Amino acid sequence: MLPTGSLTAIAIGVGLLIVTLLATTAGSRHRESPVGRVTGYLTVALAYLVAVFAEFTNAGMDLGGLALLAIAMLIPILAGVWGAAVFADAGSGSGAAARQRLVVQGGLLAAFLLICVQLIVAGRVLSILGGVNPAVASVALGVVVSLYVAGRGWRAASRTSRWTLFFVVLAGLVLLAGLFLGSLASLVDAALPSQGYSLGHIGGVWIALAALGAVDLVLIRSFAQARSSQAPRRAIGGGLLAVGTVVALGAGLLLFFGGSFYAPSEQLFTLFTTLGAAGLAVVCGLAAMLLASTTDSYLAAAADCVADLTKASDHERVRGIAVAVLALLAVVVAAFAPPISALLVAGALISAAVIGAALVGSAAKDSLRVFAAMLGVLTGLVVAFIAGLAPTFAFGDWSWLAILLSAVAAYATVLLGKAFSDVSAEEVASQADESSAATATTTSDSV
So what's the pLDDT on residue 31? 47
Contact 65, 198 (CB under 8 A): no
Q: How far is CA 71 from CA 65, 205, 349, in A?
A: 10, 11, 21
Question: Mean pLDDT, the chain, as a whole number?
Answer: 81
Per-residue burial over 250-273, b = 16 or more CB atoms within 10 Å of its CB, e = otherwise: bbbbbbbbbbbbbbeeebbeeebe
The DSSP call for residue 369 is: H
The pLDDT of residue 428 is above 80: no
The pLDDT of residue 1 is above 50: no
pLDDT-derived band of residue 191, with 50, 70 and 90 as boundaries? low
3-state SS assignment for residue 61: strand
So what's the pLDDT on residue 37? 66
Contact 226, 234 (CB under 8 A): yes
The sign of the torsion formed by the CA atoms of 145, 148, 151, 155 equals negative
Q: Which of 382, 299, 374 is nearest to 334 (CA)?
A: 299
pLDDT-derived band of residue 307, with 50, 70 and 90 as boundaries? confident
Give the range with max mean pLDDT: 73-82, 128-137, 308-317: 73-82
So what's the pLDDT on residue 414? 87
Q: Which of 203, 164, 204 is nearest to 19 (CA)?
A: 164
Q: What are phi and psi of 388, to 5 degrees?
A: 110, 140
Q: Which of 342, 345, 335, 295 is nearest to 127 (CA)?
A: 335
Give the model confidence (pLDDT) of 206-236 as tens digits: 999 999 999 998 888 877 766 566 677 778 8
Contact 259, 192 (CB under 8 A): yes
Average pLDDT for 255-284: 74
Give the model confidence (pLDDT) of 326-371 as tens digits: 999 999 999 888 999 999 999 999 999 999 988 876 666 778 888 8
So where are the chain's domains? 4-338, 340-438
pLDDT-derived band of residue 185, with 50, 70 and 90 as boundaries? confident
DSSP, residue by residue, 136-177? HHHHHHHHHHHHHHHHHTHHHHHHHHGGGHHHHHHHHHHHHH
Average pLDDT for 89-101: 64
**C-alpha neighbours within 13 Å on the C-beta side of residue 446:** 6
